[in-house]
Structure 1
Amino acid sequence: MSFDPTQAPVVFGEALFDCFPDGSEVLGGAPFNVAWHLAAFGAAPVFVSRVGEDPLGARIEAAMQRLGMTTVGLQRDPAHSTGTVQVKLEGGEPSYDIVAGSAYDFIDAGALPTPPTGGLLYHGTLALRNADSAAALGRLRADTNAVFLDVNLRPPWWSLEQVQTLLSAARWAKLNTDELALLAPNGDSPESQAEALMQRHALERVYATLGAAGAFALTADGTLERISPGTGIEVVDAVGAGDGFAAVLILGLLRGWTLGDTLERAQTFASAIVARRGATIDDPDFYAGFLDLWSVA
């Protein structure tokens, strides 16, 4: 089955709210953030998730409609609440309780939209902690081998065996250096770890983010591309930078950009995200500026 970049990408996983001690609630979830960015860039993703029949679920649906996103893949659950992460501050340091038994843990395989054959399918790992959602992803994966795995490991909600199985079903994978070290511990550098991971799971491409050191991408034919962040970047909020990076990597696959251009554009966009408050930007002009710069509008 060949990859058809003309098909609308499918983004599968959690939409949730980070709930802070001051009562503020911030919409997020890595797959939701990726879908949001792709939609703002005009890629028309189908976001597949499940939210409660509650006010938070209504807010997610309204946000998607405001951006012009289709809600055909957004399921409503009368029995389980919209996902939340309870953020606590202890000694000035945040800790996170990713609430279990949330609506996105129960994505119904029988209520999925018909996926496009050969289209790109993005997913992470958190939404697969429950058998219902894992089965739903399996149904979507049956229609494509163009799977982009964003390895977002959130203890205790992952297992080595499950992630290795997901990697073997993926075509492209994105990880950070900590995740590389966990999944390919025998390498003596992130590059050698990425190579070992690629060979073990027959991946076509591995993207690795290196924090302040930038990122690199390694392909199955041995091509290695690196990117370093620019100087003078103001970091206001680092939450969601990796999701912005992933969204532009996917856009590069859909648009057929070179690997070097894709990495450079992903790094530029992620740098702009960290200079703003919040993981998603509710401003069409923000995205239009990048589309003009990249000449893909």
Structure 2
Amino acid sequence: MAKNIVIFGEVLWDIFPDNDRKLGGAPFNVAWHLKAFGANPLLISRIGTDDLGAAIQTKMQAWQMTLAGLQIDKIHPTGTVQVTLEKGQPQYEITADCAYDFIDSQQFPILEDKFWLYHGSLALRNAVSQASFRVLQQRADQIFFDVNLRQPWWTLETIASALAASQYVKLNTEELPLLTPEFFSTNLAIDHLLNQNSLRHIILTAGEAGASLYTQGDRQQISPPKNTTVVDTVGAGDAFCSICLLGLMNDWPSVLTLERAQAFASAIVRIRGAVSEDPRFYQPFIQAWRL
């Protein structure tokens, strides 16, 4: 895994109805998983000076994640999301004007000449973080865009701009028609995105129906294991993305990458929250994949 990877965006706390707190934020979740699997991602995010921010630093240090890209904001609070579950599906109430909305490019650590950039949508909702993201976007060698549409925190213009600069994108079957409302066919919508942008790969996830990988003129599809026990689906897409990145960094065949991503996402939905703080959770995958 010689490729350098920069993860940009939010780190926050998912707060469940019983006030149980779990680490979250799609970029943070991806960085956490990658670290567990032996990569060394640089997470660029921002936290407040509050207890929630201090707890994030403690958790990251315990997981041996670098804090070099973690900025401290003396004005804005650490991010939080109120999570409710409806039939196992998460609903999110995302706090506005959090520290991660004000990521400062002037505080970036020294970056390698070539790096892969992973990002989502939420941290692009504020002009300050969006401007800082553009600095990274212009320097990145390859960009993986994980579309995470959270109402009302996105605009079609912002998403279209991010798509145009990306080589890899992951989105789900609910997000695709929101971005391509003029197309009534999934295949036509996918073809449009591939032809209009610099995209090489589009990963389309469909929950219980599995996932598909689209490239120019080709589609590969996998299905999840049957009878998966679901505690909640918070972070399932982030888990899927982390393994897709792992596969790209290790040059795994595309179908094998999809199968492993699906297997790991299926394990994540069996626990509460988006990440596990127990290294033993990751060991069966590390051993099976010989990482």
Short-chain TM bin: over 0.9
The AA in structure 2 aligned to 1:223 is D
For 2:124 and 2:260, how far apart are their aligned partners in 1? 30
8 Å contact kept, 1:6–1:119:
no
- 1:88: how far off? 6.1
Query: Which string of whole-angstrom CA distances, capped at 9 and with x for unpartnered residues, describes residues 86-110 of structure 1?
Result: 34689x9975321111000000110
Which of the residues 281, 284, 293 maps onto 2:279? 284
Residue by residue over 1:126-162, the C-alpha shift from the partner in whole angstroms, topping out at 9 and shown as x without a partner, is: 0011111111111112221300000001111110011
Q: Which one of 194, 201, 225 corresponds to residue 197 of structure 2?
A: 201
Kindly tell me: are residues 217 and 118 of structure 1, through their superposed partners in 2, closer, same or farther at Cα, counting changes over 3 Å? same
* Matched residue SS, 2:259: helix
- Normalised TM-score (structure 2): 0.95
What is the CA–CA distance in structure 2 between the aligned matches of 1:95 and 1:251, rounded to whole Å?
28
The Cα of 1:284 is off from its aligned counterpart by: 1.3
Look up the match of 1:63.
59
1:50 aligns with 2:46: yes
Does structure 1 retain, via aligned residues, the 8 Å contact 2:90–2:232? no
Residue segments in structure 2 that go unaligned for 5+ positions in a row:
none
- Match of 1:23, SS state, is coil
Code of the aligned partner of 1:57: G
The 8 Å contact of residues 38 and 44 in structure 1, kept in 2 or not, is answered as yes
Q: Which residue in the other structure is 1:38 paired with?
A: 34
1:219, CA displacement in angstroms? 1.3
Give 3-state SS (helix, strand or coil) of 1:142's partner.
Answer: helix
Structure 2 CA distance for partners of 1:64 and 1:94, relative to 1, 3 Å? closer
Aligned CA RMSD, in angstroms, stands at 1.8
Matching residue of 1:12: 8
Query: Residue 202 of structure 1: CA displacement?
Result: 2.5
Match of 2:114 in 1: 118
Match of 2:251 in 1: 256
Identity %: 50
List aligned pairs for 1:197-276, cutoff 5 A: 197-220=193-216, 222-276=217-271
Q: 2:79 aligns with which of 61, 70, 83?
A: 83
Segments of structure 1 that go 5 or more residues without pairing to the other structure are none
Q: Corresponding residue for 2:181?
A: 185
1:173 maps to which residue?
Answer: 169
